[in-house]
Amino acid sequence: MTQQPNQTYIDLLEKIRSKTATIGVVGLGYVGLPLIRVFVESGFKTIGFDVDDGKVQQLLAGQSYIKHIESEWIASLIENGQFDPTSDMQRLAEPDAILVCVPTPLSPSRDPDLKYVEGTAREIAKNLRTGQLVVLESTTYPGTTRDVLCPILSESGLDIGQDFFVAYSPEREDPGNQDFSASRIPKVVGGMDAKSLELAEAMYAHAVVETIPVSTCEIAEACKILENTYRSVNIAMVNELKILFDHINIDIWETINAAKTKPFGFQAFYPGPGLGGHCIPIDPFYLSWVARLNGQSTRFIELAGEINSSMPDYVVHKVAEALNKSGKPIKNSKVGIFGVAYKRDVDDPRESPAFRLMELLNERGATLSYHDPFIPTLPKMRSFDVPALESNDLTEAYLTSLDCLLICTDHSGVDWQFVVDHSNIVVDTRNACSGTIDNDGKVYTA
């Protein structure tokens, strides 16, 4: 007997292909808002969901809170009805596709904390209707879509693959990257079944340069973990070499620059004061957690995590050494942090090592301040005890008032010679001052 085609699937596929489908995005942060942008630019109507009503009200007023998303663009979308931000989760019944872009942090014991994914899934389940596609984009461990998301969605009483469809496609957003905006990054897609995969692939094909279909959601989930574990392990290696080379008087930066002239078999990674951003400091531990569940060990991942997590302690030790050479302890010294964003030229502070450095310096009695043109006020952080500070202007008066300037983030467009000339001590974790003249020996690398 010939199986009848699934009319629900056929109707949704036609909506997607004709761009009459409405795209809903849950989580309007550094991943969700750029995702809204690529679908709007592809011709779709969008609804944005966020539990933070403050964000929603900002967006409704035409105000962007992300540097590379312009307020004028937000205002124009609101005006012409292409983007409808809301904190009303009952409206999750409206979009034809729901893309979940919520945080997936670690617990204090470095176990996956899926409370945001689970909470969002419950809200979707309460409002789920026939003919919707749900795609999880949040980075997580292999098996999350099948074992966590799908059982919650099934509480709706609807059947996956018949009444609604489920896929996983890991976000690959790189805030501030001018060469690879969201639309220019290939999208890996895995579906819970063949129909879910085809629907998700058809949807993303409108919005991104290329889709990469894989056989299961688990492959797509593992893909993102592999990408970030690769970076974590290699960054840990150069961080370890930085400490060794500093001890034996070898310049790690010049060494890397020499090594990267090899046209094959080498990719340059650079040391720093610790890992930042939502992905690289967190994602590898999702994989090590899965390994423990299955009685396996992930020694490279654990070791890389230990090395990268220890870098702020190493940097504070270098600050202490630099101050000691001027006859000063850290206690009561005025230490300015240059850059609290997790990387150059972004307004994204997530997991920035600057906050751990502030905690350590504060514990040792330093008087702290900071400069970051992209982050005018220190935000509250989930993982760190952050002081209430506002950014100082980078003036001669500010620099001369400090006992030590600690460079954590090397934002571009900075006159580093001016910084060196007017600072008493500079501890540089990013090689920012490499081209400056330092006749007085003020600059220390860390």
Residues recognised as catalytic: 279
Q: Is the distance from CB of 312 to CB of 274 less than 8 angstroms?
A: yes
- Sign of the Cα pseudo-torsion (307, 312, 317, 318, in order): positive
Distance CA 314, CA 292 (A): 29
Distance CA 142, CA 294 (A): 12
Residues found in the chain: 446
Exposure string of 261-298, with b = 16+ CB inside 10 Å and e = fewer, is eeeeeeeebebbbbbbbbbbbbbbbbbbbbbeeeeeeb
Pairing of strands 132-136, 97-100: parallel
**Radius of gyration over every alpha carbon of the chain, rounded to an integer in angstroms:** 24
- In what order do the strands lie in the sheet containing 404-407? 367-371, 334-338, 404-407, 426-428, 443-445
What residues form DSSP beta bridges with 370? 337
The first and second tokens of residue 253, run together, are 């930066």
Distance CA 310, CA 269 (A): 18
Give the CA-trace dihedral at 379, 383, 386, 390, to 10 degrees. Answer: -20
Q: How many helices (H) and strands (E) does the chain have?
A: 15, 13
The first and second tokens of residue 58, run together, are 């900002």
The three-class DSSP label of residue 24 is strand
**Which region, left, alpha or beta, applies to residue 351 given φ > 0 means left and ψ of -120 to 50 means alpha?**
left
Q: In degrees rounded to 5, what are phi and psi of residue 85?
A: -80, 145
Rounded to the nearest 10 degrees, what angle do helices 217-247 and 252-259 cross at?
130
Residue of 116, 113, 112, 117 lying closest to 134 (CA atoms): 117
Residue of 43, 35, 47 lying closest to 89 (CA atoms): 47
Exposure string of 341-359, with b = 16+ CB inside 10 Å and e = fewer, is bbbebbbbbbbbbbbbbbb
Q: Is the distance from CB of 185 to CB of 196 less than 8 angstroms?
A: no
Q: In degrees rounded to 5, what are phi and psi of residue 412?
A: -80, 170
